[in-house]
Amino acid sequence: MLANRANDRDDRAMRDVKLTRGIMKNANGSCLAEFGDTRVLCTATIEDRAPAWRKGSGKGWLTAEYAMLPAAGNKRTRRETNGRNGRSMEIERLIGRSLRNVCDLNAMGGEVTMTIDCDVLQADGGTRTAAITGAWVAAYDAFEMWKTAGRIKTNPLFGQVAAISVGLVEGRLMLDLDYEEDSNAEIDMNVVMNAKGEIVEIQGTGEQVSFSRDRLNEFLDVAEEGIKVLLAAQKDVLGIE
Amino acid sequence: MLANRANDRDDRAMRDVKLTRGIMKNANGSCLAEFGDTRVLCTATIEDRAPAWRKGSGKGWLTAEYAMLPAAGNKRTRRETNGRNGRSMEIERLIGRSLRNVCDLNAMGGEVTMTIDCDVLQADGGTRTAAITGAWVAAYDAFEMWKTAGRIKTNPLFGQVAAISVGLVEGRLMLDLDYEEDSNAEIDMNVVMNAKGEIVEIQGTGEQVSFSRDRLNEFLDVAEEGIKVLLAAQKDVLGIE
Amino acid sequence: MLANRANDRDDRAMRDVKLTRGIMKNANGSCLAEFGDTRVLCTATIEDRAPAWRKGSGKGWLTAEYAMLPAAGNKRTRRETNGRNGRSMEIERLIGRSLRNVCDLNAMGGEVTMTIDCDVLQADGGTRTAAITGAWVAAYDAFEMWKTAGRIKTNPLFGQVAAISVGLVEGRLMLDLDYEEDSNAEIDMNVVMNAKGEIVEIQGTGEQVSFSRDRLNEFLDVAEEGIKVLLAAQKDVLGIE
Amino acid sequence: MLANRANDRDDRAMRDVKLTRGIMKNANGSCLAEFGDTRVLCTATIEDRAPAWRKGSGKGWLTAEYAMLPAAGNKRTRRETNGRNGRSMEIERLIGRSLRNVCDLNAMGGEVTMTIDCDVLQADGGTRTAAITGAWVAAYDAFEMWKTAGRIKTNPLFGQVAAISVGLVEGRLMLDLDYEEDSNAEIDMNVVMNAKGEIVEIQGTGEQVSFSRDRLNEFLDVAEEGIKVLLAAQKDVLGIE
Amino acid sequence: MLANRANDRDDRAMRDVKLTRGIMKNANGSCLAEFGDTRVLCTATIEDRAPAWRKGSGKGWLTAEYAMLPAAGNKRTRRETNGRNGRSMEIERLIGRSLRNVCDLNAMGGEVTMTIDCDVLQADGGTRTAAITGAWVAAYDAFEMWKTAGRIKTNPLFGQVAAISVGLVEGRLMLDLDYEEDSNAEIDMNVVMNAKGEIVEIQGTGEQVSFSRDRLNEFLDVAEEGIKVLLAAQKDVLGIE
Amino acid sequence: MLANRANDRDDRAMRDVKLTRGIMKNANGSCLAEFGDTRVLCTATIEDRAPAWRKGSGKGWLTAEYAMLPAAGNKRTRRETNGRNGRSMEIERLIGRSLRNVCDLNAMGGEVTMTIDCDVLQADGGTRTAAITGAWVAAYDAFEMWKTAGRIKTNPLFGQVAAISVGLVEGRLMLDLDYEEDSNAEIDMNVVMNAKGEIVEIQGTGEQVSFSRDRLNEFLDVAEEGIKVLLAAQKDVLGIE
């Protein structure tokens, strides 16, 4: 029984969130996103090439890659050197879609590709939500660099995006689940939202449990509070309004 | 502009749904699920082996595989013989979770594995929703065969599950999108529900568009109507109440 | 002991043969070939690209791919997602050679590639012979579509081709072996013939048994009868003379 | 035009055949098979393990692997380090079947596996026929070693097997085609025979040409003469009757 | 021309070296090794399993894995998800050998495996030497944890090991090359040494330049000074004598 | 105990060295290098293509591939058909670097690639040193052919290169270790040298043993003697001064 959450956290409270910019010397943009003990290193690289199916379109592309270091979790996992695993591919597709949602691909300065690498240094639940939240900061900075380089005039990110998890754990509605909570959750939901408080992506799953419309709306109320914290942290670290 | 949907379908109407049972000679259970021109062949096989991490648990496991024939869509696609693609893995994971949601893994007759193969013969939008809907029928039949074989006393499926897509296409809320509609959708949502009308899984994505809570609830209203049609079709083909 | 063949079939009789054209909405040509319970879905796709080694030749290319659905046979088999298996590659090479034998690669309308996908929906022996027989129909139809599209003036298939198996099972010479017969065959032979009754490809194998020249000629007598049935079925479904 | 064959060889004559035994220090049995400039190194290794599906059968297994050195042919080819190519798999399956045809798998001294590696050092046509012919010598020697080691009493090879190619080149029926002839052949046939002059395996292919029953029988007449030469060479190098 | 080294470093001086212990929550032992801007995260995990070839030996095994994050260097590199690259495999083999050189595999508490993951977060030359130096600290800590867990009585590391690079750059003998120096080096040498000042592994390569015995000895003199700094840093961070 | 080396060889003596040129019909250059029972077939092929990263440079490239036949050693090894093994990649990288050390890549006649395939027919220790020594001869001959073809005026190899192993085996310093010696060596070193007696590459490893600077210099003294023998053999087989 999870009488108390770690650090006596309130059920609807976030863990400590810390976004650190510019921690990589070489990447165009980078951000270390920490949600409690979860640490994801996000780096954004812009390259002067486009995927084959993009040729001649004049548009840019934005994609993401996600991986966990073998020792990130509480049990060593294998590197994906011999084929990808489904979970990683699912997550990196989610990150890519979320960022493209707020990026004007026509305004990236031509047929260029931004790749956002999200590498989980330490995993304690919520790696995909930390990845999306940090990826936005890394992408923002990389596009600013692109502006400085004279390749674009305006940052093609026309809005903010951040993500948080909510879940039902032993009957309690909780925000921002850590690994132990997540492992015991009856319902697990990830919500990606923008600054208008609108939904960009929602993924909710019951583990042998289903949920009503009312429950769904409760989840979203709670998620919305978490998203506000994250959007503020993003602006704060970038020093923007 | 999509003035009219194909076959003058109403925005909130399903395509013709056809579930055909027992079409495979060898599989333990099988169902051809057709949603309009989308055709997915679902077969369920029970094998006397469990995944390594299941050893000693006494529990069964249920998993799914999803693939498209190369000529299923409107452009030939490559076979996944040299590594998997992310979309297929994402879909097969969704099918597996949805079916496990209504299956008592402790009641499968020991450490056995049911594999549900969902092979898309023809793709015209909604292949994952047809797959989940047909997979449930195939699984049901395979477990009935397992009962007949004396391996279990009761069918471990303790509920029904079906899935449908909804989306916003050129500003119109539509149910059960076909390929052309899906390609033009601003918002795309897949909903898996059970017979209680509760949500088992929800995945909604905006394509450069976000959506409000109200919109989400509208989507779910429409989805629910579609799910009812599918649950009835499942019962009908199996001849159960 | 195989006292009687299934359905009291005569040793030198074919199973019921059924060829169904145009069953795929998107493919340029398609044919479902059924030999008894064996069902192979053949689709032909023409693409405006040629293999690298064909560049500058002005010639087209025709190739085939063969795969079995996991639940096609009497035991679930693994998908070839992690490398190909030798049997499948051997069969798809045979299909490709057989079709190229009657196709004028100079008359395909330039450096285009026809890919014939042969997917075994259900396997009960003779999948490669059904595949070749159905592939010819699918290819014919795809080339007709190519004519309609104005890409060619004449169908580059200058002859018909069909295939059948013969074998020695418990000392009896049998035509068109089903799975059980094939598993017990001492000698197994696949013959590809054209409308002149000439051999296009012959592959005969003894399983710990060798065979004389006389035996070989007996096999071919029987095979020829089967081929005639198949060639007639092809013409019939296409409505050609 | 191929006015004369290389070295003024008669159309129905073999190239110089040379089988050299015991050229590998470590292998249980080995044979370098040379047909003119074609050189295939065949080594037979017996290991105390059986394939998984053989467990509990008490029977042995015999299998073959085939590969070409990159510089074996007249153009450098890639190593098969990233997936196998279809031709190699087809050939190694043929070698395995041919050898198993004359090997009593029940008499191999239990659940052991013989692997025959056929590595093409130099390729000038007929690599698969040289491989089969040399593989038999290597296997024979390895089983003799197995006898010496006290693992079996009798050599489980109950007969000889050898292979040769015949073809129709610019209308001329030729035996034992070299690379240039093979590249220009209208019909290409590989015949595996035993000491009774019976067929173990036959594979004949027309390249845009078909052939009659009479032609087939002519091919076999010629092949038989070649096989006799090879069977004699095998006995000669082993010093057996 | 490299008039001055970055930060006016003396040719025979190390960059700032920083070893940080215990930075991973879950790993048995961990160390972030920084040599200037080069940052390698080393984690050591002990698992209760041995490689297959170790079964029955009673001995443990120690192995290493090495990878670079895609954005670690000054140009994004691809992840090794589709086969390994040779450089990475060469480096991880070197790390493994170096650590095994000072580890008593008989004293690891049975057939267990220690895996040391060396993940390059940022690459600025000398990643392999930082990896070895940090790996030793991570391994030490993991074995201490193993002691605490009662699995062993003494730490099986019977000596220290550290590594440094030396090179000839534009004719100047330099210690601890950064990326730019390394890219311009005529001679590149990596030296692994122990606390006795003896060589554990030496790898020296001339880039279109060869070097004399005297030069080699000069290199080793310089390397030895660097190694002393590293050995002291290791002891310092561990608080051992 | 290794009282005597095989064939009563002196500790500082080479095995019989035999280099045979031109043994491949098709390769541009070839050399069979034999060091005692170790036999490596080296072939050099020049192709009119450059790696992608070389485009526009006007320079050539030289690379090597290394593989062992499955039956080369005293235990059958698996082919590298499903991914490469680290040892092979390490060795082929060493061969490539060693040859590039004495090759003027600007003088290869443009953007061409020389690939040197080193295939180990029989392995008895020292395969990498035999490979390097033989590769140089094969490369030399291939470049001579390239001269004859009018593609270059001078052979771009501006010096000789050869390699030998030295080791400490049961306390004795030995030259050119065979497999048994190598398996028992406490220290194992491979030295690549040129005709000036200078070091091109040195790789020395202690197996749980470290070595002093003096020991290293002793090793190099002995290695140098071996290299002289090899350089003479290379000149001898090529008939050059």
Mutate to test the interface with B, among A92, A98, A205, A217 (most CBs of B within 10 A): A205
Give me B164's structure tokens.
């449908």
pLDDT at C2: 54
Whole domain around residue E212: which residue ranges?
A: 9-238
Using alpha carbons, select from A100, A68, A73 the residue that is nearest to residue A84.
A68
Mean pLDDT computed over every residue of chain A: 95
E200 touches chain F (CB under 8 A): yes
Q: pLDDT tens digits, residue range E145-156?
A: 999 999 999 999
Give me the residue from F37, F84, F122 closest to D81, CB to CB: F84
Q: Tell me the one-letter amino acid at F154.
A: T
Contact F86 E87 (CB under 8 A): no
E213 touches chain F (CB under 8 A): yes
- For residue B2, being part of any structural domain is answered with no
Residue in this structure with the two tokens 């056929």, named with its chain if needed:
D118
Instruction: With beta carbons under 8 A apart, name residues in chain B contacting A211.
Output: 198-199
Q: pLDDT tens digits, residue range A50-66?
A: 898 888 999 999 999 99
- The pair phi, psi for residue F91, each rounded to 5°, is -70, -45
- The pair phi, psi for residue F118, each rounded to 5°, is -115, 105
pLDDT at D88: 96
- Residues of chain C falling short of pLDDT 70: 1-3
Residues facing B162 on adjacent strands: B193
Q: pLDDT tens digits, residue range C67-90?
A: 999 999 999 999 999 889 999 999
Task: Tell me the CATH number at F140.
Answer: 3.30.230.70
Strands, E, within A71-219: which ranges? Answer: 113-122, 161-169, 172-175, 185-194, 199-206
Instruction: Categorize the per-residue pLDDT at E3 as very low, low, confident or very high, splitting at 50, 70 and 90.
Output: low
Q: What is the DSSP letter of B57?
A: S
Contact F217 E213 (CB under 8 A): yes
At a CB cut-off of 8 Å and minimum separation 6, what does B232 contact? none
Q: Whole-prediction pTM value?
A: 0.94
pLDDT at F2: 53
- Residue C46: CB atoms within 10 A of its CB come to 24
Instruction: With beta carbons under 8 A apart, name residues in chain A contacting E72.
Output: 26
Instruction: Inform me whether the pLDDT recorded for E66 exceeds 90.
Output: yes
In chain E, positions 86-115, which contact chain A (CB-CB < 8 Å)? 115
Using alpha carbons, select from D172, D173, D177, D143 the residue that is nearest to residue D157.
D143
How far, in Å, CA of F8 to CA of F156, rounded? 41
How far, in Å, CA of C132 to CA of C100, rounded? 11
Residues facing E66 on adjacent strands: E118
Contact C124 B25 (CB under 8 A): yes
Give me C68's structure tokens.
């079995």
Q: Do chains F and B touch (3 or more CB pairs under 8 A)?
A: no
Residues facing B204 on adjacent strands: A202, B189
- For residue A72, being part of any structural domain is answered with yes
Mutate to test the interface with D, among C208, C211, C225, C231 (most CBs of D within 10 A): C208
The ipTM estimated for the assembled molecules is 0.94
How far, in Å, CA of A18 to CA of A33, rounded? 6
- For residue B190, being part of any structural domain is answered with yes
pLDDT at C4: 87
- For residue D63, being part of any structural domain is answered with yes
Q: Tell me the one-letter amino acid at C63.
A: T
| Strand arrangement of the beta sheet that strand B17-21 belongs to | B17-21, B29-35, B38-47, B113-122, B61-68
pLDDT at C207: 84
Instruction: With beta carbons under 8 A apart, name residues in chain F contacting E213.
Output: 199, 217, 220
Mutate to test the interface with A, among B63, B208, B225, B231 (most CBs of A within 10 A): B208
Instruction: With beta carbons under 8 A apart, name residues in chain A contacting E31.
Output: none
- For residue A69, being part of any structural domain is answered with yes
- For residue D183, being part of any structural domain is answered with yes
Q: Do chains C and B touch (3 or more CB pairs under 8 A)?
A: yes
- Please state the domain count of chain C: 1
Instruction: With beta carbons under 8 A apart, name residues in chain B contacting C37.
Output: 25
- For residue B29, being part of any structural domain is answered with yes
Chain F neighbours (≥3 Cβ pairs under 8 A) are D, E
Q: Tell me the one-letter amino acid at B82.
A: N
Per-residue pLDDT of chain F (241 residues; tens, 9 = 90+): 456 899 899 999 999 999 999 999 989 999 999 999 999 999 999 999 989 888 899 999 999 999 999 999 999 999 999 889 999 999 999 999 999 999 999 999 999 999 999 999 999 999 999 999 999 999 999 999 999 999 999 999 999 999 999 999 999 999 999 999 999 999 999 999 999 999 999 999 998 899 999 999 999 999 999 999 999 999 999 999 8
Nearest-CA distance E235 → chain A (Å): 24
Instruction: Inform me whether the pLDDT recorded for A114 exceeds 60.
Output: yes
- Residue D57: CB atoms within 10 A of its CB come to 14
How far, in Å, CA of F114 to CA of F62, rounded? 5
Contact F69 D121 (CB under 8 A): no
Q: pLDDT tens digits, residue range B112-156?
A: 999 999 999 999 999 999 999 999 999 999 999 999 999 999 999
- For residue F57, being part of any structural domain is answered with yes
pLDDT at F207: 84
Q: pLDDT tens digits, residue range B179-237?
A: 999 999 999 999 999 999 999 999 999 988 999 999 999 999 999 999 999 999 999 99
Instruction: Inform me whether the pLDDT recorded for D207 exceeds 90.
Output: no
Give me F52's structure tokens.
């992608």
E59 touches chain F (CB under 8 A): no
Give me the residue from B92, B101, B212 closest to A198, CB to CB: B212
Give me E191's structure tokens.
């030296």
Strands E61-68 and E113-122: parallel
CA distances from F227 to B185, C109, F194, F196, F223 (A): 72, 62, 8, 11, 6
Instruction: Categorize the per-residue pLDDT at A207 as very low, low, confident or very high, splitting at 50, 70 and 90.
Output: confident
CA distances from D145 to D28, D139, D155 (A): 7, 10, 10
Instruction: With beta carbons under 8 A apart, name residues in chain A contacting B89.
Output: 84, 86, 89-90
Q: pLDDT tens digits, residue range E38-59?
A: 999 999 999 999 898 888 999 9
- The pair phi, psi for residue A238, each rounded to 5°, is -90, -10
Chain A neighbours (≥3 Cβ pairs under 8 A) are B, E
Q: Helix count (H) and strand count (E) of chain D?
A: 4, 9
Strands F61-68 and F113-122: parallel
Note whether E223 and E129 are within 8 A (CB): no
Nearest-CA distance B25 → chain A (Å): 31
Q: Which residues of E90-115 are buried (b: 16+ CB within 10 A; e: fewer)?
A: bbbbbbbbbbbbbbbbebbbebbbbb
Task: Please report how the helices F213-238 and E213-238 are oriented relative to each other, as an axis angle in degrees rounded to 10.
Answer: 140
pLDDT more than 90, % of chain D: 91
Instruction: Categorize the per-residue pLDDT at A108 as very low, low, confident or very high, splitting at 50, 70 and 90.
Output: very high
Which range is least confidently modeled, D49-53, E71-75, F175-179?
Answer: D49-53
End-to-end Cα separation, chain E, in angstroms: 43
Instruction: Inform me whether the pLDDT recorded for E2 exceeds 80.
Output: no
Using alpha carbons, select from D105, D173, D90 the residue that is nearest to residue D139.
D105
